[in-house]
Structure 1
Amino acid sequence: MDNNKYDLMKLIQVRFPRMSKGQKLIAEYILKHYDKAAFMTAAKLGNTVGVSESTVVRFANELGFSGYPKLQVALQELIKNKLTSVQRIEISSDFISEENALKSVLKADMENIRATLEKINNNTFDRVVNEIFNAKRIYIVGFRSSQALADFLGFYLGLILDNVRVVSNGVSDIFEQLLRVGEGDMVIGIGFPRYSSRTVEALKFAKSKNAKVVAVTDSLLSPLASNSDLTLIAQSNMASFVDSLVAPLSVINALIVAVGLREKENISETFKTLENIWEEYNIYTYRSRGSNDI
């Protein structure tokens, strides 16, 4: 049986018309929530969709698996090997149309935040905040679509702390930017499927230099997580060919706020100074006081 994700998803769709009513319920759930189904027992999956455990076993057989455990392994592989953009378009078109795009995507992002709230470990989150204050230097790494998240985290942490650096694609290679990383430093790697190999390599390098490595990613099975000391989980299930980064951004927001609350007195003075600078150099559009313009 080919465990390739695209083949498995398409196989479910091809076999769908001849499935029983109960099997169709399982198929629909897996197509939408394969990340959850991957770690459910046959009994749990059956209970979730409202069918018997034996129906779940027959569903696995219908797909060509010798038993449900084999299907479960294949589903877990799906998490590691995400679809290409072209494959995402083909599969997501079955669930999202131009007419319902707004509602479907917003609902999917809401579900990602809800699932993240259930999955994320509060103790790990608190430990990450503590490690941020213990670190001599903080490097933030994230490429491809995760670059936006890395820049956002770097921008705000840089306003609060003076030891933050975002590693970026530029004139110098990422390893040159991480040249002096070592024990006592922290490297925060941000990455979601399809994982950037450069981010994974950067975290491996940092770990080899005995730096504290934190991953912000979608699963403990992520290659970022396997190279980290602490992992913050944020769900990023795709709603289309566009990566869903709403939940990861929310976790990063929480991280910034938690750090800021500890430095409340210091950042108050910092932002007073910044407000004066922003006004003096017209960084933002300010309305003149007393103006009656609307």
Structure 2
Amino acid sequence: MEKIDFYQLIKNKFSTLSPGQKKIAEFLVDHRDEAVLKTAFQLGKKVGVSETTVIRFSYALGFSGFSDMQDMIQQEWITTKQHSTQHFQIQNEHTVGDMYAKVIEKESQILQQLLNQLNRKNIDQAIEELIQADRVYIGGFGASFAAAHWLYYSLSQLRENVFLSQHVLPEQLCELKEGSVVIVFSFPRYTKDSLKLAEWVKKQHAKLISITDRQLSPIGQISDITITTEEQMESGYFSFVSVICILEMIIAGMHSRDHVRISKRQEMIEMLYSNQEMYLE
């Protein structure tokens, strides 16, 4: 025989209940959380009937007494709460999981678009300019500074005279000349500082390389070499992954073309690290 729950039991018996008992039944259905811990006296007082009417109500439903009825109410309440909690956790896990998956999917789409649009000639030219430059100045503003700092640290491992700034500093820029290279990061919303830096570089006749979202961005239009992250894709946000991917291409290209000089520099750096005991390993 199929087990019947408390509220189905009330539904089946409701038409046979007295007016006072129906008031109790309605309260139990509508205020389960409140009723679950009440005594027969408290329940009667809350509904406006006598304690005796509450006890008779339990008999009318087929229970041996109020305590027997209350046990069933409490067990079903606990079970319902457990299921509700588990359902919330599962739903939350699915929501979070889907959110994470969407982020990864979006980044994957951006990287695929990057591969499709990749202008290898521009990257090759940028690599050659960075190898031959007498000095390299890297500028990043706002959120782009993180990518600029990453490049500064990586490039400093490979060559000398690498400088980084998140401010337009005349003291550094005045030393730029025809043999110098400046890399500027610029993504929406484009900052005035990035354009100001680019215009200054052009006046100094240094080589300007921009890493930006499209060829016709404000800084892309005036750069000698423009490397774009997502020319044909409306991502809606700054993708750090695509930028780092481009920078890793540049670093890998420099390693390949200038490995002898780079190896000597890295040996010297490692010696200094060891002498100063900078790292745990």
| TM-score w.r.t. length of structure 2 | 0.61
Select the structure of larger CA radius of gyration: 2
Q: Is the 8 A contact 2:195 2:219 kept in 1?
A: yes
Give the paired residue count. 187
Alignment check: 8 A CA contact 2:158 2:266 kept: no
Quote the residue 1:102 is aligned against. Answer: 100
- Counterpart CA distance in 1 for 2:275 and 2:204 is 43
1:199 alignment partner, one of 194, 198, 205: 194
Segments of structure 2 that go 5 or more residues without pairing to the other structure are 1-94
Give the secondary structure class of the aligned counterpart of 2:164: strand
- 2:252 paired residue number: 257
Which residue in 1 is equivalent to 2:181? 186
What is the alpha-carbon distance in structure 1 between the residues aligned to residue 103 and residue 180 of structure 2? 38
Closer, same or farther: CA 269–185 of 1 in aligned 2, 3 Å: closer
For the 8 Å contact 1:154–1:164, the answer to whether it is kept is yes
Shift of 1:194: 1.3
Task: Assess if the C-alpha contact under 8 Å between 1:175 and 1:202 holds in 2.
Answer: no
1:86-165 counterparts in 2 under 5 A?
98-165=96-163
Which of these residues, 202, 220, 229, is aligned with residue 225 of structure 1? 220
Give the structure with the higher percent helix: 2
Percent identity, aligned pairs only, is: 26
Residues 200 and 227 of structure 1 are in contact (CA less than 8 Å); yes or no, is this contact kept in structure 2?
A: no
Q: TM-score, normalised by structure 1?
A: 0.58
Q: What is the match of residue 241 of structure 2?
A: 246
RMSD: 2.3
Instruction: Name the CA distance, whole Å, in 2 between partners of 1:148 and 1:283.
Output: 23
Q: Cα distance 1:238–1:143, how it changes in 2: closer, same or farther (>3 A)?
A: farther
CA contact under 8 A between 2:110 and 2:235: conserved in structure 1? no
Q: Runs of 5+ in structure 1 lacking a partner?
A: 1-96, 287-294
Q: Is the 8 A contact 1:105 1:239 kept in 2?
A: no
Cα–Cα, structure 1 residues 101 and 284, in superposed 2: closer, same or farther, change >3 Å? farther
Asked if structure 1 preserves the Cα contact closer than 8 Å seen for 2:185 and 2:210, the reply is: yes
SS in 2 for 1:180: coil
- 2:267 paired with 1:272: yes
Distance in 2, matches of 1:239 and 1:127, equals 27
Q: Which residue of 2 aligns with 1:42?
A: none
- Contact 2:144-2:187 within 8 A present in 1 as well: yes
Q: Which residue of 2 aligns with 1:213?
A: 208
CA–CA distance in 1 between the matches of 2:96 and 2:222? 40
Shift of 1:185: 1.4
